[in-house]
Chains A and B, each alone.
Chain A
Amino acid sequence: MSIQITVENLYKIFGSAPEKALKLLQEGASKEQIFKKTKQAVGCVDVNFQVSEGEILVVMGLSGSGKSTLIRCLNRLNEPTKGKVIIDGVDVTALDRQELMEFRRKKFGFVFQNFALFPHRTVLANTEYGLEIQGVEPAQREEKAKKALAQVGLAGWEQSMPGQLSGGMQQRVGLARALAVDPDILLMDEAFSALDPLIRRGMQDELLSLQETVKKTIVFITHDLDEALKIGDRIILMKDGKVVQEGTPEEILTNPATRYVEKFVEDVDMSKVLTASAVMTSARAVAYPKDGPHVALRKMREEGMSSIFVMERDGKFLGLLSAEAAKGAADRGDKLIKDVVNHHDLPTVHPDDPLNTLFPLLAEHSFPLPVLNDEQKLQGIVVRGAVLAALAERGSVN
């Protein structure tokens, strides 16, 4: 495959006197020292990498590591201080304003962490935006935008306003807006980080299956190692603006280059960093307090469950209702299941709980574990099989 993006000795310093900071960097000063001395913020330091056509490159690092700065240097939303970005043989850093605008229109689709949809435009008009500013005919751009919306599973939502959609759906619109211009390169800046864990995993899967057909070159930014391992053909790890390691997920896991990478990775092979949120699934059926015992029993029967979780309409978790309790209530002629819901000594887990704390709970109880967030809302459930499957999958990495 041919090389599509080449980044050479890229530096980005924020501030009015970057030369001073560059000089200090060459003398080996750290990011903090430079900020103290010159008030210049160091974004990227001597970054070099290449991306092949059709490859997914994940840039990973904690906040402040310079990854978002880096992705914005590729299309010059951030002006690189020094160094070169070459895309399809064109030196992007040398383009003038007009050329850069044209280049952005043709080459890039950008997906933002907080969606950045235009709130006054319909879903369709948002998706059309890139084509509209290129001056594409209305009929033609509507057709392309509709196709892009269908690709992300939003056919039929064209006339909705972004404010009416859930976070996951909004980001699909963001993705459709990027796909509609049919760019060579997709830049995705923490595209799924603002989404709930379950939706997030769904979107990751969809992106991967979409990639099978569209085969774009993707630069994907994330702070989440699980996401990086799942999505990336190759991963770049960044710290303090520098690339600390580059390689395939396999290489990074098995051969961490520095202590920093090692710290990231050492937990991955064990159940310790796999958290409840990584293995949970959505509950197939839940009951609501307004349900009567017959309704609850019916739901259980349909799904073949011996107990069912009960929650409020807004997701607040109430407890577990066993089939026997429901049966008892039905026999007594109770109208509501409220009184027979068990909410004492019921094990619940937090999305961030590591897997190894789940084992004893799963062994003790016959029902799945409810995963509750800080507001006591039901995020999903953990079943025994999923935990074992996840461990088997990750265990094979080392």
Chain B
Amino acid sequence: MEGIPKIPLADWVESAIDWTSTNFAPITKAISRFAETGINGLVVGMEWLPPWLLIAFFALIAWRLAGVKLALGTALGLLFLWNLGLWDSTLQTLALVLFSTLVAVAVGLPLGILAALSETFYRVITPILDFMQTMPAFVYLIPAIPFFGLGPVSAMVSTVIFAVPPAIRLTCLGIRQVPKDLIEAADAYGSTWSQKLFKLQLPLATPTIMAGVNQTIMLSLSMVVIAAMIGAGGLGGDVWKAIQRLKPGMGFEAGLGVVILAMILDRITQKIGRSQAKRQSGGQ
């Protein structure tokens, strides 16, 4: 490759980011404020409650959604984290994950619906999603900083970007999987496109969409840990500190915290998806 000058791709990307970060400052500021308020509100709210009450509350949710066994596991796992002194970190991570997931689903669901209904949009978004999912997760951290600065908002934004593809993909897949003859039946009786969507396609796609939400939560959790490098705090922050100070014990504790949180979130969302699917097959 001698004699041929290097394509200045890196320079282009940087000037593009510079340009957008200066020109779209009002927008990024608004996003910043919105996300900061949301995340801080969640954290403050949860920290305000005594840990035992919050643990009981989570166990209750797990019981209502997924049964006694999971409620017990949830209570034990969270009590354990409280005992290790990881309570505040756990809440920070949880808040970030929940908020990121909320945003990812709010963005992913409509895009997924659009991709299912419009062939053109599907063709456009598929390679973009492929790109987003194969790009190393760390790379998303860098541009987030010029836009939103160090801290949880940057972490949230890069987390959303990393975690949104499965929400879009599985929403689209769920809708496309609705059998042709059912669509034909809805058409034959004169349904509008929105009647078809809300009365037929979305209800039938719910189990698949829930699988997407589950994946989004799991990806959010893994990204929130990585995002500790740009100041996300929480359990990831503890892991990051342990790495810097070469303290394997501390790292293990915080890592275990992530595992427990992941298991609780995973089981609960899986159960929701499965009970949806069960209801549709007539309880058989």
Residues of A near any B CB (own CB < 8 A): 75, 77, 101-105, 108, 110, 112, 114, 116-120, 129-130, 132-134, 160-164, 177, 181, 187
Contact = CB atoms under 8 A, between A and B. Distances in A.
Contacts of B190: 101-105, 130, 133-134
Contact of B191 (A114, A133, A160, A181): A133
A166 to B, nearest CB: 12
B232 to A, nearest CB: 39
Given A116-B182, A118-B200, A119-B204, A101 B192 contact: yes
A120 B185 contact: no
Interface of B: 179, 181-182, 184-192, 195, 199-200, 203-204, 279-284
Listed from nearest, the 7 A-B pairs whose CB atoms lie closest are A163-B282, A161-B282, A105-B190, A104-B190, A110-B188, A116-B185, A116-B181
A121 to B, nearest CB: 8
21 contacts: A75-B188, A77-B188, A101-B191, A101-B192, A104-B189, A104-B190, A105-B189, A110-B185, A110-B189, A116-B181, A118-B185, A118-B200, A120-B203, A120-B280, A129-B186, A129-B189, A129-B199, A130-B190, A163-B282, A164-B282, A164-B284
A77 B189 CA distance: 11
A112 B282 contact: no
A133 B195 CA distance: 7
A2 B279 CA distance: 47
A70 to B, nearest CB: 15
A104 B281 contact: no
**Chain A contact residues: helix, strand, loop or mixed:** mixed
B147 to A, nearest CB: 42
B127 to A, nearest CB: 25
B188 A133 contact: no
Given A101-B192, A133-B195, A133-B199, A120 B187 contact: no
Contact of A114 (B181, B189, B195): B181
Given A118-B185, A129-B189, A164-B284, 15 more contacts: A77-B184, A104-B188, A108-B188, A108-B189, A114-B181, A116-B179, A118-B204, A119-B282, A129-B186, A133-B189, A133-B192, A161-B283, A163-B280, A163-B281, A181-B189
Nearest to B284: A163
A222 B106 CA distance: 47
Nearest to A106: B190
B63 to A, nearest CB: 25
A164 B283 CA distance: 8
Contacts of B184: 77, 112, 116
Contacts of B181: 112, 114, 116
A138 B184 CA distance: 24
B191 A112 contact: no
Nearest to A162: B282
A304 B189 CA distance: 50
Contacts of A164: 282-284
Contacts of B284: 163-164
Listed residue (A103, A110, A187) with the most chain B CB atoms within 10 angstroms of its CB: A110
Nearest to B188: A110
Nearest to A113: B181
A160 B281 CA distance: 11
B187 to A, nearest CB: 6
A239 B124 CA distance: 43
Contacts of B281: 119, 161, 163
A101 B199 CA distance: 17
Contacts of B199: 118, 129, 132-133
A130 B200 CA distance: 13
Nearest to A183: B189
Nearest to B183: A116
Contacts of A160: 282
A303 B179 CA distance: 46
A130 B187 CA distance: 10
Contacts of A181: 189
Contacts of B279: 120
